[in-house]
Amino acid sequence: MAFSDVEPFPPLHDFSTHSTPQSHSQTQTRRRKSSTLKGELPGDTDVAALATLHNTTPASQSPPTSEKSVRRSKRRTAKRLFSRWKRACFRHTWLLPLVLMTVIASLYLVYPYPSNPIAACLFLSYPVPPEPGSEAPIQYAKGGRDFAFVGFYTIVLSFTREFIMQRIIRPIAISYGIKSRAKQARFMEQFYTAIYFGVFGPFGIWVMSRTPVWYFNTTGMYESCPHKTHEAVFKAYYLLQASYWFQQMIVLLLMLEKPRKDFKELVAHHFITLALIWCSYRFHFTYMGLAVYITMDVSDFFLATSKVLNYIDSPIVAPYFFCFMCIWAYLRHYINLKILWSIITEYPYVGPFELNWETQQYKCWIAQYITFALLAALQAVNLFWWFYICRIAYRIVVLDIQEDERSEYEDSGDEAAENDQGQAINTTSGASYAKAASESRANGTPKLLVNGQEPDLVSEKEQNGSIGARLRERKCRK
In angstroms, the CA 354 to CA 352 distance is: 6
Distance between CA 166 and CA 94 in Å, rounded?
Answer: 9
Quote the crossing angle between the two packed helices 181-208 and 232-253, to the nearest 10°.
Answer: 160
pLDDT, average across residues 168-188: 91
Express each pLDDT in 258-298 by its tens digit. 777 778 888 889 999 999 999 999 999 999 999 999 999 99
pLDDT computed for residue 43 by the predictor: 52
Using the predicted structure, report yes or no on whether residue 91 has a pLDDT greater than 80. Answer: yes
Average of pLDDT values for 209-217? 93
At 444 the pLDDT is 47
Q: Is the pLDDT of residue 382 over 60?
A: yes
Tell me the per-residue pLDDT of 318-347, one tens digit each, with 9 for 90 and over.
999 999 999 999 999 999 999 999 999 999
What letter does residue 52 receive in the DSSP assignment?
A: T
**pLDDT category of residue 58 using cuts at 50, 70 and 90:** low
Output the 3-class SS for 326-375.
HHHHHHHHHHHHHHHHHHHHCCCCCCCCCCECCCCECCCHHHHHHHHHHH
Q: Is pLDDT larger for residue 63 or for residue 136?
A: 136
Whole-model pTM? 0.70
Is 212's pLDDT higher than 60? yes
Confidence of residue 132 (pLDDT cuts 50, 70, 90): confident
Whether 248 contacts 272, CB under 8 Å: no
The residues near 46 (Cβ < 8 Å, ≥ 6 apart) are 58, 59
Instruction: Go through 18-28 and write b for each residue having 16 or more CB atoms within 10 A of its CB, e for each that does not.
Output: eeeeeeeeeee
Asked if the model's pLDDT at residue 372 lies above 60, the reply is yes
Q: How many CB atoms lie within 10 A of CB 225?
A: 20
Give the lowest-confidence range in 254-258, 261-265, 381-385, 456-460: 456-460
**Average pLDDT, integer, range 121-143:** 89
Distance CA 135, CA 256 (A): 47
Query: Could you read off the pLDDT of 218-246 as tens digits, one per residue?
Result: 999 998 888 999 999 999 999 999 999 99
Instruction: Considering only residues 194 and 62, tell me which one the structure prediction assigns the higher pLDDT.
Output: 194
Average pLDDT value for residue range 12-33: 50
Say whether pLDDT at 391 is over 70.
yes
Give the Cα separation of 253 and 53 in Å (integer): 59
| 228 vs 73, residue with greater confidence | 228
Whether 455 has a pLDDT exceeding 50, the answer reads no
The letter for the amino acid at 169 is I
3-class SS at 463? helix
- pLDDT surpassing 60 at residue 67: yes
The ranges assigned to domains in the chain are 86-411, 414-477
Quick check: 449 pLDDT over 50? no
Q: Find out whether 212 and 223 touch, Cβ atoms under 8 Å.
A: yes
* Dihedral sign for Cα atoms in the order 33, 39, 44, 45: positive
Rounded to whole angstroms, the Cα distance separating 368 from 365 reads: 5
